[in-house]
Chain A
Amino acid sequence: MRVALFLTCVNDTLYPDTGRAVVNLLTRLGVDIDFPMGQTCCGQAHYNTGYRHEAEPLARKFSDVFGEYDAIVTPSGSCGAMVRELYPRMGERARAEGRGDGLAAALAPVVPKTYELTEFLVDVLGVTDVGAYYPHTVTYHPTCHGLRSLGLGDRPYQLLMAVKGLDLKELPGAQECCGFGGTFAVKNSDVSAAMGEDKVRNAGSTGADVLCAADNSCLMHLGGTMSRLHTAMRPVHIAEILASTEEEPLS
């Protein structure tokens, strides 16, 4: 099976550790993973801000770069949802605008092959115990697109519960949005910040020292809020926890 890592532009630029963690984790599990250098951005920010037409070339590019792989794995719920949920919709809209089936046909191949990391682990590889070791108290925030668009369900919890040494604490109000929301964080910064502060407060109430999620964009917002509020808690992507072992602990 030819597996491609779709890291996302945010992770590539700002969170290379997450990318290295996915590579280490999947390599440890026997997956031969490739990082196609032509990859850039899925177009989510454009699409969600109202620039659907500007997102179309990015989607085509995505399909072009990843189309030949058997599986496309991404450590981002929202970018995964962009491909799986919104690429088909972009195709439909183009058709409704009288632009034919071209876009839909171009995007169709990548849609069913794109997996969010925890889905790939649990559904494709069939593992929940990935042999990780992470001796910390952790609370998990199920990000909105992972939760509601992709329906990740309890997959991330199964994976975390199997991690040796990890003490998982239930997050109050877990299903509530953290307030990131892409350009929402800037366009409606007051409400976004208020949501972020409430999420950080809820996470703090668990006594955990790590707030884990499967999406770094949400963690960037929450981490920035934590640091501004001087909380002791730190944000960690689930891939980094799952990649951590007794031999090579997460630094």
Chain B
Amino acid sequence: MSGTFVGMPAFPKAAHEAVGNTTLRANLRHATHTIRDKRAKAVAELDDWALLREAGKQIKDHTLRHLDTYLVQLEETVTAAGGTVHWAADADEANRIVTHLVKETGECEVVKVKSMATQEIGLNEALEEAGIAAYETDLAELIVQLGHDRPSHILVPAIHRNRGEIRDIFTKEMGEWGRPAPEGLTDTPAELAEAARLHLREKFLRAKVGISGANFMVAETGTLVVVESEGNGRMCLTLPETLISVVGIEKIIPTWRDLEVFLQTLPRSSTAERMNPYTSMWTGTTDTDGPRAFHLVLIDNGRTDTLADEVGRQALRCIRCSACLNVCPVYERAGGHAYGSVYPGPIGAILSPQLRGTASEIDASLPYASSLCGACYEVCPVAIDIPEVLVHLRERVVQGGPATRQGNRVVLKPAKGHAAERAAMRAAGWAFVHPGALRAGQRMASRTRRFHPRTLPGPGRAWSATRDLPQVPAEPFRDWWQRTHGKKESGK
């Protein structure tokens, strides 16, 4: 994945900053709560939601199970429709392919539709190194790009910014990139949107190369689908002469008909709309309408490694709706940047450590960035059991074991820094299969209870810094039971 986030601290450390930032907390709280309620309403309109969710899961599972077949089929149908298919095993290769394709056109600027895949591979940075300017055209991406910032949400990458901050960024930065912000720009969302419209319009009208991702690729027909709201997607997909779409291999669905499920579940889950304002579907190239050259770059970049894990592979069902971010109490308080990846929130916590591996400090900490409350699983439109995968990845971190990296089977060592915990867990495990030992411990705690401090030293401080400890009772329950019901034969 992208080098953008290399050297990120572990999640708890990054989250510590965010929790203390009251502006950020307020921005995130406001935005996530707004969309949360709207989503619930939009979903409640469909009385067959559970069936749609199950069908979406089944379509994706089936596709993953036959991914090789569908990739080959997609290559055939896209090629037959006039497109060219490229394959990229990792981010570097994808960046090389795209850079080469842009250079072949002789252009030195491109317009981009918001795409998670191109962020994941760090395409903008790669293009910049090659002297090609990549203009982000989605409003939130524009805010992030102009603000020299990082995305913090899948759907709304600038969710951490409020209107006042956005106004300041536009006023200060737009002139550096093209048409400056209008004089006296206020912070009303409508005026900010208008400023973006004016700023980007000249870029759209002169663009010769567009770069996109895709929400879906239909193997049967070779059709690509981009779901969007602002019209920047339509601009990038239809006005340039060359279109390059960079798409993860898991975005395939088998048939045209399968869209009937996802076009119902995706908009309601992501923007909480019955349907998003614009959906574009194209199959190869069409005479006189749209780009004359179409390139599809299929990327692996850790996806096949994820596929190799029987529990973890369900993360590949994800349709990037971001409903899990919006309901997540941890995301709401820690913010997207703490996840150290273009994929923040619950889905990011299971996707990043699988795509990138668990070797880095941030990736090893992500599976723990959850209270396992299950709200993410409940709203997921393709029923990804995120808590299940989180726990599975925790196991990989603390116990190591078999995994696949770059297509090779490896056996991971347990991560560093868990030795004390491992020992404690083993000791507790031993005590719990020996009730006598447990009882001795309980009694010791009860007898010494008057001497228990209100705050704890060492790792226990993490608890007692903000919470008092419960008082240890005079006797554990089992002693009371023994005293009062002891005469009765009590099981084993």
Task: Determine whether A and B are in direct contact in the complex, meaning some CB atoms lie less than 8 angstroms apart.
Answer: yes
A interface with B by C-beta (< 8 Å): 4, 7, 9, 11-17, 19-20, 23, 34-41, 43, 45-55, 57-58, 61, 64-66, 68-69, 89, 93, 96, 144-145, 148-149, 175-177, 179-197, 220-221, 223-225, 227-228
Q: Which B327-367 residues have C-beta < 8 A from chain A?
A: 329-330, 333-334, 367
A181 touches B491 (CB 8 A): no
A186 touches B462 (CB 8 A): yes
Query: Out of B370, B421, B491, which one reaches A4, CB within 8 Å?
Result: B491
Closest to A56 in B: B429
A52 to B367, CA, bound (A): 15
Interface size on B, residues (CB 8 A): 70
Closest to B33 in A: A173
A49 to B418, CA, bound (A): 11
B478 touches A48 (CB 8 A): no
Please tell me which stretch of B61-69, B227-235, B254-262, B374-382 contacts chain A, meaning at least 4 of its Cβ atoms lie within 8 angstroms of it.
Answer: B374-382
Residues of B within 8 A of A55 (CB): 429
A49 touches B470 (CB 8 A): no
B interface with A by C-beta (< 8 Å): 11-12, 15-16, 19-20, 25, 310-311, 329-330, 333-334, 367-375, 377-378, 388, 391, 393-399, 421-422, 425-426, 428-429, 431-433, 435, 438, 442, 445, 459-460, 462-463, 465-470, 472-473, 475-478, 480-482, 485, 488, 490-492
Query: Out of A17, A177, A189, which one reaches B463, CB within 8 Å?
Result: A189
A225 to B466, CA, bound (A): 6
A144 to B421, CA, bound (A): 25
A48 touches B391 (CB 8 A): yes
A54 touches B482 (CB 8 A): no
26 cross-chain CB contacts under 8 A? A13-B445, A13-B472, A15-B477, A16-B473, A16-B475, A16-B480, A20-B480, A23-B481, A37-B435, A37-B492, A38-B492, A41-B428, A46-B425, A50-B393, A144-B375, A179-B371, A180-B371, A182-B371, A186-B460, A188-B369, A191-B15, A191-B19, A195-B333, A224-B463, A224-B470, A227-B468
Residues of B within 8 A of A228 (CB): 466-468
Write the nearest CB–CB distance from B402 to chain A, whole angstroms: 9
Query: Out of B399, B475, B492, which one reaches A53, CB within 8 Å?
Result: B399
B468 touches A40 (CB 8 A): no
Name A's interface SS: helix
Residues of A within 8 A of B460 (CB): 186
B469 touches A224 (CB 8 A): yes
Residues of B within 8 A of A14 (CB): 470, 472-473
Write the nearest CB–CB distance from A145 to chain B, whole angstroms: 8
B368 touches A35 (CB 8 A): no
A9 touches B438 (CB 8 A): yes
Query: Out of B15, B375, B394, B491, which one reaches A34, CB within 8 Å?
Result: B491
Residues of A within 8 A of B371 (CB): 144, 177, 179-182, 184, 188, 192, 195
B477 touches A20 (CB 8 A): yes
Residues of A within 8 A of B372 (CB): 48, 144, 181-182, 184
B477 touches A51 (CB 8 A): no
A175 to B374, CA, bound (A): 11
Closest to B446 in A: A13
A228 to B465, CA, bound (A): 9
